[in-house]
Amino acid sequence: MKSKDRGWFYIAVLTLILAVTWAVMTAWSRNKQSTIPPDIEKIMAPLNPKLDSVILNKLQQKTP
């Protein structure tokens, strides 16, 4: 009877460890997941405001 009750104790400890691990993993994956919608991500893409002046000067030189 004693060893049987100790067995329940071990099962309880392992179940608790499993539950805590599961909870931590769920929280971690939730924290990693991005909440930014894809269309907003597309709008957020950076824009380079500089114009290639070398090419534009070359074009001006080509003008007859």
Structural Rg of the chain based on CA atoms: 31
Residue with the two structure tokens 């993993």: 25
Burial 50-61 (b: 16+ CB within 10 A, else e): eeeeeeeeeeee
The pattern of x and - marking residues 18 through 47 that bind another protein according to CB under 8 A reads -xx-xx--xx--xx-xxxx---x--xx-xx
Contact between 64 and another protein per CB under 8 A:
yes
Q: For binding to another protein (CB under 8 A), which residues are involved?
A: 1-2, 5-6, 8-9, 11-13, 15-16, 19-20, 22-23, 26-27, 30-31, 33-36, 40, 43-44, 46-51, 53, 55-57, 59-60, 62-64
